[in-house]
Structure 1
């Protein structure tokens, strides 16, 4: 029997995005497993400021990478971010908004629920 993944609110995990298709498993959900060392569990709504911040710290999410099936992200896209990167962006003042229902409960190992709630859409 497969266990249903939970979100940070303790309810079943909702989809984050299928266009662009996101998630560690590329299912549209921010689900995770033991192989996901980056913990891609935060469903974030991209902003120009966050995309610039991410590129400045070494992770260019705007440039398409067709060789990896990555379309490049634009403002308004939803994407499963690494929990630690979202927290780093929050501390720096560039955290994008999040969709709480689509953030995996494992996010709470890195990010306080109150911080996520302060950025909820």
Structure 2
């Protein structure tokens, strides 16, 4: 990864966060909690993938429609997040695979 790639990545992240800050306060709170949750358990490609910008797009549509954030996500926000990543390879999956490999070599 070159310096130029890092600079470009930071520009994109700042633009993304500017979109988040433009959301109403209740949307911002839920987005930040979702972001924390997804960074803990989320997909391996989360920082570079389309998931976070897609959530902001979805939230912007909810704001435009005049809906509250919980009308958009439902009251169980963690379940909403889990549905978003259900078919993605997560850090937990990678960890389980590494444990399986380690235990497999220990048995031989």
Larger helix percent? 2
TM-score (norm 2): 0.26
Query: Structure 1 length as normaliser, TM-score?
Result: 0.24
Structure possessing the higher radius of gyration over alpha carbons: 2
The structure carrying a bigger strand percent of its residues is: 1
